[in-house]
Amino acid sequence: MIIAILCAYLDRAGQRRHFRDVFVGVGAALVLMVAGGVAAYLTLKTYAGSRTQTIFETATYLVAATALTYMTFWMRNHSRSLSSELRSRADAALDGRARFGLSILSFQAVGREGLETMVFTLAIVFASSSKGVLAGGAVGLGVSLIIALAIYRFGKRINVAAFFTAIGGLLMIFAAGLVADAVQNLQELGWVRVLTHAVWDSSRFLGEDSTFGDILHSFFGYADRPTVLQLMAYAAYLVAAVIGFLFLGRNSRFGRRELQVQPAAAPEATTAPAPSARSSSR
Report how many domains make up the chain: 1
Q: 276 in a domain, yes or no?
A: no
Say which DSSP state 270 is in: P
Bridge partners, residue 227, by sequence? 198
Q: 266 in a domain, yes or no?
A: no
- For helices 228-260 and 51-78, give the axis angle rounded to 10 degrees: 20
Phi-psi region of 273 (alpha: psi -120 to 50; beta: other; left: phi over 0): beta
Phi-psi region of 221 (alpha: psi -120 to 50; beta: other; left: phi over 0): left
Q: What is the pLDDT of residue 191?
A: 92
Counting runs of H as helices and runs of E as strands, what totals does the chain give?
10, 0
Q: 280 in a domain, yes or no?
A: no
Q: 263 in a domain, yes or no?
A: no
Q: What is the pLDDT of residue 22?
A: 84
Q: 267 in a domain, yes or no?
A: no
Q: Which amino acid is at 51?
A: R
Q: 190 in a domain, yes or no?
A: yes
Q: What is the pLDDT of residue 237?
A: 93
Q: 91 in a domain, yes or no?
A: yes
Q: What is the pLDDT of residue 232?
A: 95
Whole-number Å distance between alpha carbons of 14 and 1: 20
Q: What is the pLDDT of residue 263?
A: 46
Whole-number Å distance between alpha carbons of 178 and 172: 10
pLDDT tens series, the chain, 282 aa: 778 877 877 777 777 777 888 888 888 888 888 888 888 878 877 777 778 878 888 888 888 888 888 878 877 776 666 666 666 766 666 655 556 777 787 887 787 777 777 777 777 777 665 556 777 778 888 888 888 888 777 765 666 667 777 777 888 888 898 899 899 999 988 999 999 999 998 888 888 878 788 778 877 788 889 999 999 999 999 999 888 877 765 655 544 444 444 444 444 444 444 444 444 444
Asked if 174 and 121 touch (Cβ cutoff 8 Å), the reply is no
What lies within 8 Å, CB to CB, of 169 at 6+ separation is: 245
Whole-number Å distance between alpha carbons of 152 and 7: 7
Whole-number Å distance between alpha carbons of 32 and 163: 28
- 227 φ, ψ (degrees, to nearest 5): -85, 165
The domain of 20 spans 2-258
Whole-number Å distance between alpha carbons of 220 and 63: 17
Q: 229 in a domain, yes or no?
A: yes
